[in-house]
Amino acid sequence: MANLKELASRKELLTGGHRMCPGCGAPIIVRQILLASKDPVVVVAATGCLEVSTTIFPYTAWNVPYLHNAFENAGATLSGVEAAYSAFKKKGKISQHVNFIAFGGDGGTYDIGLQSLSGALERGHDLLYVCYNNEAYMNTGVQRSGATPKGANTTTEPAGKVRQGKVEWRKDLTEIVAAHGIPYVAQSIAGNWADLTKKAEKAFSIRGPKFMNVLQPCRLGWGYKPEDTLNIARLAVESCVWPLYEVENGVYKVNSKPKAKKPAADFLKTQERFRHLFKPGNEQLLIEIQTEVDRRWEALVAKEPAVRTGA
């Protein structure tokens, strides 16, 4: 694994001067993943915050070959690019290895682009799909998505007298992707550069389809101060709301097991989208959320192989 000094010495492939919000985790995720690649990269980006803020015509923040496609087809587009590269390589027209990366938000990954992503994985294309997961359709007005947690206030499922935010549990996309039987699947966060870059490096070293689901706090949609982005992401791990783990060739490994697991409420309190949960009368909702966090955490840990001890 490259150390921090080595990563910092590499060329920046996403430049400054883009128009992402102050405190946005998306460019942090993108920069660190791109720095983890020793080989040239080709990037495809689904429509979303990242795309609209880095490619405002006639400018671009990308120092790599970059292709913007529709909201729903990043997986299919990158599949075609990778297939063309493979054809040229077989003909001897290209010899250098290239890493192909798709970036999509949770709207374009969990929901609108799920069929395209699933197809790319099932066909076995040699690519890495990265979901920068801010848990709602932030670019179009903070509407709920399949990644939005239960109880979160959004513009399409607002907290009010009848409902207290989103009523459904969020979709577990990482497990859905793992069920495809691909070589590598991982969860990470903006806020742990060592975990994120290590997993990206591992993904780049593996041939075949790879997927990374990276939690990206959104200052605008979640409601907090810009300087708190990385701390909030770390708190999601410390409370087991968002576990760090990977699945390599079907084998699960949990990368962080908090010695003193923090209550989910500690994470929820940091964001305005959950402010209503702490009003009198919503105590049961907090209990339900904590119970579900505990259930998912215990189910995840149980998937790790048993550690064998010598006789």
Tens of pLDDT along 267-289?
Answer: 999 999 999 999 999 999 999 99
At 11 the pLDDT is 86
At 310 the pLDDT is 53
For 192-235, the DSSP string reads -HHHHHHHHHHHHHS-S-EEEEEE---IIIII--GGGHHHHHHH
Rounded to an integer, the average pLDDT of 55-65 is 93
Rounded to an integer, the average pLDDT of 225-236 is 97
Q: Confirm if 101 and 203 have CB atoms less than 8 A apart.
A: no
At 78 the pLDDT is 98
State what percent of residues in the chain have pLDDT above 90.
93
At 6 the pLDDT is 83
Tens of pLDDT along 110-133?
Answer: 999 999 999 999 999 999 999 999
Rounded to an integer, the average pLDDT of 71-88 is 97
The answer on pLDDT for 16 being more than 70 is yes
What mean pLDDT is reported for the chain? 95
At 4 the pLDDT is 80
The answer on pLDDT for 10 being more than 90 is no
At 308 the pLDDT is 52
Give me the residue spans of the domains in the chain.
4-302
What is the 3 state secondary structure string of 57-108? CCCCCECCCEEECCCCCHHHHHHHHHHHHHHHHHCCCCCCCCEEEEEEEHHH
Architecture of the domain spanning 4-302: 3-Layer(aba) Sandwich (3.40)
Query: Band of the pLDDT at 8, cuts 50, 70, 90?
Result: confident
